[in-house]
Amino acid sequence: MIYITRKELFCAAHKVARKDWTDEKNKEVFGKCSNPNWHGHNYTMWVTVKGEINPETGFVANLSEISDIIKREILDKVDHKNLDMDVDFMTGKISSTETLAVECWKQLEGPINALGCFLHSVKLQETEKNFVEYFG
Protein backbone atom coordinates (compact mmCIF):
# COMPACT_ATOMS: atom_id res chain seq x y z
CA MET A 1 0.00 0.00 0.00
CA ILE A 2 1.33 3.43 -0.93
CA TYR A 3 -0.02 6.90 -0.22
CA ILE A 4 -0.12 9.95 -2.46
CA THR A 5 -1.28 13.44 -1.54
CA ARG A 6 -2.67 16.33 -3.51
CA LYS A 7 -2.40 19.77 -1.90
CA GLU A 8 -4.93 22.48 -2.77
CA LEU A 9 -5.57 26.05 -1.63
CA PHE A 10 -8.80 27.98 -1.36
CA CYS A 11 -10.15 31.15 0.22
CA ALA A 12 -13.54 31.31 1.90
CA ALA A 13 -15.58 33.39 4.30
CA HIS A 14 -17.46 32.03 7.26
CA LYS A 15 -18.80 32.64 10.73
CA VAL A 16 -18.69 30.00 13.43
CA ALA A 17 -21.75 30.66 15.53
CA ARG A 18 -24.98 29.08 16.68
CA LYS A 19 -28.12 30.95 15.68
CA ASP A 20 -29.79 29.98 18.96
CA TRP A 21 -27.03 31.66 21.00
CA THR A 22 -26.46 35.37 21.61
CA ASP A 23 -23.49 37.15 20.00
CA GLU A 24 -21.90 37.28 23.46
CA LYS A 25 -22.21 33.53 24.02
CA ASN A 26 -20.92 32.81 20.50
CA LYS A 27 -17.93 35.09 21.13
CA GLU A 28 -17.24 33.37 24.44
CA VAL A 29 -17.24 29.87 22.87
CA PHE A 30 -16.03 30.44 19.30
CA GLY A 31 -13.83 33.53 19.73
CA LYS A 32 -12.90 35.67 16.74
CA CYS A 33 -14.45 33.18 14.29
CA SER A 34 -17.90 34.16 15.60
CA ASN A 35 -17.63 37.75 14.28
CA PRO A 36 -21.23 38.61 13.22
CA ASN A 37 -20.12 40.30 9.97
CA TRP A 38 -18.08 37.33 8.70
CA HIS A 39 -14.33 36.99 8.06
CA GLY A 40 -12.15 34.91 5.77
CA HIS A 41 -9.40 32.32 5.83
CA ASN A 42 -6.83 31.05 3.34
CA TYR A 43 -7.37 27.32 3.66
CA THR A 44 -4.90 24.61 2.69
CA MET A 45 -6.25 21.12 2.06
CA TRP A 46 -4.30 17.88 1.64
CA VAL A 47 -6.18 14.96 0.15
CA THR A 48 -4.35 11.65 0.64
CA VAL A 49 -5.22 8.59 -1.43
CA LYS A 50 -3.89 5.07 -0.91
CA GLY A 51 -3.69 1.98 -3.04
CA GLU A 52 -1.40 -0.40 -4.84
CA ILE A 53 0.87 0.68 -7.67
CA ASN A 54 -0.55 -0.20 -11.07
CA PRO A 55 2.37 -1.99 -12.80
CA GLU A 56 1.23 -0.69 -16.18
CA THR A 57 1.46 3.00 -15.20
CA GLY A 58 3.56 3.09 -12.03
CA PHE A 59 0.72 5.12 -10.47
CA VAL A 60 -1.61 4.48 -7.55
CA ALA A 61 -3.98 6.85 -9.29
CA ASN A 62 -3.62 9.52 -11.90
CA LEU A 63 -3.14 12.76 -9.92
CA SER A 64 -4.75 14.79 -12.67
CA GLU A 65 -7.94 12.74 -12.18
CA ILE A 66 -7.70 13.28 -8.39
CA SER A 67 -7.19 16.98 -9.03
CA ASP A 68 -10.27 17.12 -11.31
CA ILE A 69 -12.40 15.48 -8.61
CA ILE A 70 -11.19 17.87 -5.90
CA LYS A 71 -11.85 20.82 -8.19
CA ARG A 72 -15.36 19.66 -9.13
CA GLU A 73 -16.48 18.42 -5.70
CA ILE A 74 -14.81 21.01 -3.43
CA LEU A 75 -12.93 23.95 -4.95
CA ASP A 76 -15.60 25.06 -7.44
CA LYS A 77 -18.09 25.11 -4.54
CA VAL A 78 -16.04 26.77 -1.78
CA ASP A 79 -13.32 28.98 -3.31
CA HIS A 80 -14.13 32.68 -2.82
CA LYS A 81 -17.51 31.69 -1.34
CA ASN A 82 -19.25 32.03 1.98
CA LEU A 83 -19.18 28.57 3.59
CA ASP A 84 -22.35 29.27 5.57
CA MET A 85 -24.43 30.75 2.75
CA ASP A 86 -23.14 29.50 -0.62
CA VAL A 87 -22.00 25.91 -0.12
CA ASP A 88 -24.67 23.22 -0.49
CA PHE A 89 -22.85 20.57 1.54
CA MET A 90 -22.35 22.95 4.50
CA THR A 91 -25.97 24.10 4.73
CA GLY A 92 -27.20 24.04 8.31
CA LYS A 93 -23.81 22.99 9.71
CA ILE A 94 -21.36 24.85 11.92
CA SER A 95 -18.43 25.79 9.67
CA SER A 96 -15.66 24.68 12.03
CA THR A 97 -12.53 23.26 10.44
CA GLU A 98 -13.48 19.84 11.83
CA THR A 99 -16.93 19.85 10.23
CA LEU A 100 -15.61 21.22 6.95
CA ALA A 101 -13.00 18.41 6.76
CA VAL A 102 -15.67 15.76 7.41
CA GLU A 103 -18.01 17.21 4.80
CA CYS A 104 -15.18 17.45 2.24
CA TRP A 105 -14.43 13.76 2.90
CA LYS A 106 -18.08 12.90 2.16
CA GLN A 107 -17.88 14.78 -1.15
CA LEU A 108 -14.64 13.09 -2.21
CA GLU A 109 -14.95 9.49 -1.01
CA GLY A 110 -17.27 8.13 -3.71
CA PRO A 111 -15.59 9.68 -6.77
CA ILE A 112 -12.05 8.90 -5.56
CA ASN A 113 -12.82 5.30 -4.65
CA ALA A 114 -14.42 4.89 -8.09
CA LEU A 115 -10.92 5.40 -9.56
CA GLY A 116 -9.82 2.11 -7.98
CA CYS A 117 -7.91 3.60 -5.05
CA PHE A 118 -9.09 4.64 -1.57
CA LEU A 119 -9.48 7.99 0.12
CA HIS A 120 -7.18 7.86 3.18
CA SER A 121 -7.43 11.32 4.77
CA VAL A 122 -8.47 14.90 4.39
CA LYS A 123 -6.22 17.37 6.21
CA LEU A 124 -7.44 20.92 6.44
CA GLN A 125 -5.52 23.92 7.72
CA GLU A 126 -7.43 27.08 8.59
CA THR A 127 -4.61 29.08 10.17
CA GLU A 128 -0.84 28.68 10.39
CA LYS A 129 -1.22 27.18 13.84
CA ASN A 130 -4.24 24.85 13.50
CA PHE A 131 -5.12 21.95 11.27
CA VAL A 132 -7.40 18.93 11.47
CA GLU A 133 -7.12 15.50 9.89
CA TYR A 134 -10.05 13.17 9.15
CA PHE A 135 -9.66 9.50 8.30
CA GLY A 136 -13.30 8.60 7.69
In angstroms, the CA 29 to CA 27 distance is 6
Nearest C-alpha neighbor of 133 from the set 123, 97, 114: 123
In angstroms, give the least distance from the CB of 92 to Ni ion. 18
**Shortest distance in whole angstroms from residue 83 CB to Ni ion:** 9
CB of 40 to Ni ion, least distance (A): 8
Helix (H) or strand (E) holding 106: helix 97-113
Q: Which of 42, 10, 47 shows the shortest CA–CA distance to 134?
A: 47
Known catalytic residue at 52: no
Contact call for residue 33 and Ni ion (CB under 5 A): yes
39 is catalytic: no
Q: Which is nearer to Ni ion, 33 or 112 (CB)?
A: 33
Whether 80 sits among the annotated catalytic residues: the reply is: yes
Return the ∠ at Cα 118 (arms to 117 and 120), rounded to 5°.
140
**Which of 11, 52, 80, 133 does the annotation list as catalytic?**
80
Binding-site ranges for Ni ion (CB under 5 A): 33
